[in-house]
Amino acid sequence: MIFPDRFKDKIVIVTGAAQGIGRGVALRIAAENGQVILADRSDLVDEVAHEIMRSGGVAITVKTDLETFVGAQTVVNQAIEHFGRVDVLINNVGGAIWMKPYDAFSEEEIIKEINRSLFPTLWCCRAVLPEMLKEKSGVIVNVSSIATRGINRIPYSAAKGGVNALTASLAFEHAKDGIRVNAIATGGTDAPPRKVPRNSTPLTEDEKVWMQQVVDQTKERSLMGRYGTIDEQVNAIVFLASDESSYMTGSVIAVGGGDQG
């Protein structure tokens, strides 16, 4: 469902907007008349911006690596340069790179998982806060995961546990400044094949088994026994990003068919 005025006059950063859930959020917010800054390190993000502009929406892209603070600062600087302020930040970059038992992870892989699924959110929150503090208003939505209680991706689970802690603690710190911070714990979500793969190395036979174990656990823990859709995740994210959730901060809402994460 589209509510045409929900994001009217709102300036919204969406990270990881080139595909999947981030793309869905960007299209929905633009359709609801938000002006969007689409941040991604893939050039495919330009296609999403063109799609929005073809429909009469307003979008700019910033192509940068959000695993670095300088990348996050670049996104915020571009937003300020074009639109003068940031009303909403949606931290969507993340995603498990490997699925395997913890004892099979190397030191390097563990660091890569934390860099992928914790640092972009930490950096973007840090970069946007001074601007929201100036405005004495702002909304941050972090995209977490039900994997905080899940097998075969412990470093990712730990990163998303960090996102949940960051969400609650930042909400405590800045409620007095008019800044709300919430998260959704995304459940397993059906999506078209990824144009930007999380891991471009073909899966080994062992990795196929470990991946299937994650799929099985996800379905078993969902009371509905199924994966969700991108739209079902987008619905919850845009609710938290909008003024409809004005009395909510520090919450992590599970969107996993009843799996609370």
Ligand X SMILES: NC(=O)c1ccc[n+]([C@@H]2O[C@H](COP(=O)([O-])OP(=O)(O)OC[C@H]3O[C@@H](n4cnc5c(N)ncnc54)[C@H](O)[C@@H]3O)[C@@H](O)[C@H]2O)c1
| Residue 102 annotated in active site | no
Comparing every residue's Cβ against ligand X, the nearest one is: 20
- The rounded Cα 70 to chain-centroid distance in angstroms is 19
Q: Is 65 in the site for ligand X (CB under 6 A)?
A: yes
Angle between helices 119-135 and 107-117 (to 10 degrees): 30
Whose Cβ is closer to ligand X: residue 33's or residue 241's? 241
Whose Cβ is closer to ligand X: residue 124's or residue 139's? 124
CB of 207 to ligand X, least distance (A): 17
Q: From the list 40, 87, 131, 259, which residue makes contact with ligand X (rule: CB under 6 A)?
A: 40
Q: What are phi and psi of 118, to 5 degrees?
A: -120, -50
Whose Cβ is closer to ligand X: residue 33's or residue 72's? 72
Interface residues for ligand X in 166-195 (CB under 6 A)? 186, 188-189, 191, 194
Q: Which stretch binds ligand X (CB under 6 A): 2-10, 60-68, 100-108, 238-246?
A: 60-68
Q: Is 95 in the site for ligand X (CB under 6 A)?
A: yes
Distances (CA, A) of 224 to 94, 96, 187, 238, 259: 25, 23, 11, 23, 9
Interface residues for ligand X in 106-145 (CB under 6 A)? 116-117, 120, 143, 145
Whose Cβ is closer to ligand X: residue 58's or residue 196's? 196
Q: Which stretch binds ligand X (CB under 6 A): 17-25, 28-36, 175-183, 204-212?
A: 17-25
Q: Is 20 in the site for ligand X (CB under 6 A)?
A: yes
Q: Is 198 in the site for ligand X (CB under 6 A)?
A: yes
Residue 238 · residue 32 · CB < 8 Å: yes
Nearest alpha-carbon partner for 237 in 5, 58, 23: 23
Residue numbers annotated as active site = 156
Contact residues: ligand X, CB under 6 A: 16, 18-22, 40-42, 65-67, 92-95, 116-117, 120, 143, 145, 186, 188-189, 191, 194, 196, 198
